[in-house]
Amino acid sequence: MTYQFAEVAAPKGAPLLLLLHGTGGDERDLIGLGRQLMPEAHLVSPRGDVLEGGAPRFFRRLAMGVYDMDDLERATRKMAGFIRETAARVRPKTVAALGYSNGANILASVLFTSPDLVDRAVLMHPLIPFEPPQQPELSGRHVLITAGRRDAISPSSATQGLADYFMDQGAVTELVWHDGGHELRPSEVAAAKAFLMA
């Protein structure tokens, strides 16, 4: 269940923050953001194991917004195993995870199947173009979604639908918008920091 990954160690008992990059990113992309958001955390950032035109991703897609659902299932099992093994190795006091774009999508898929693995999840610009399964074990979990109202990759209606799903499952859900597109903006970084440090 391993990936190539970057790691920034912290003292024993520190919180764990997993960082999942977007399409074309790698294991180093979000380390600086992780340090900014949770300076005291043990950081682990895996590299996606699928290539799309040379760009790393965590699962295959058939077209823009059309996922290879069999590969998503494979990737979800692998990521869940990686989170479980990393937490067992690091033995943190809490486990948080942040994903951007494709990283947010694989993190959301893990939450649909294994919500016990993550205490707090930040989904930045996710796109879930299918109806997730009911998951009562999401009740009480903390989820932050950040998004752009003019995001051509992740339409606002799909983002709102995902937030509604988490709320319907009983997750403590926050949704933070900015007026731009698929790019990360300071307002959502600030929201993620407040959410993770709460």
Give every CB contact of residue 192 below 8 A, 6+ residues apart in sequence.
Answer: 37, 98, 122, 124, 144, 146
With beta carbons less than 8 A apart as the criterion, state whether 97 and 83 touch: yes
> What is the DSSP pairing of strand 120-124 with strand 95-100?
parallel
Instruction: Report helix, strand or coil for 111.
Output: helix
Helix extents (H) in the chain: 31-37, 69-90, 102-113, 156-168, 186-197
Annotate 73-93 with b (16+ C-beta within 10 A) or e (fewer).
Answer: eebbebbbebbeebbeebebe
Q: Give which of 53, 98, 56, 105 is closest to 76, Cα–Cα.
A: 105
* 182 catalytic residue (yes or no): yes
Q: For residue 134, which phi and psi values (nearest 5 degrees)?
A: -60, 140
101 labelled catalytic: yes
Q: Which of 49, 68, 119, 182 is catalytic?
A: 182
Structure tokens at 37: 């958001």
Q: Which residue in the list 109, 114, 125, 151 is annotated as catalytic? A: 151
| Catalytic residue flag (residue 45) | no
Active-site choice (101, 109, 114, 154): 101
Write the CB contacts of 89 (distance below 8 Å, at least 6 apart in sequence). Answer: none
Query: Which residues are tagged catalytic?
Result: 101, 151, 182
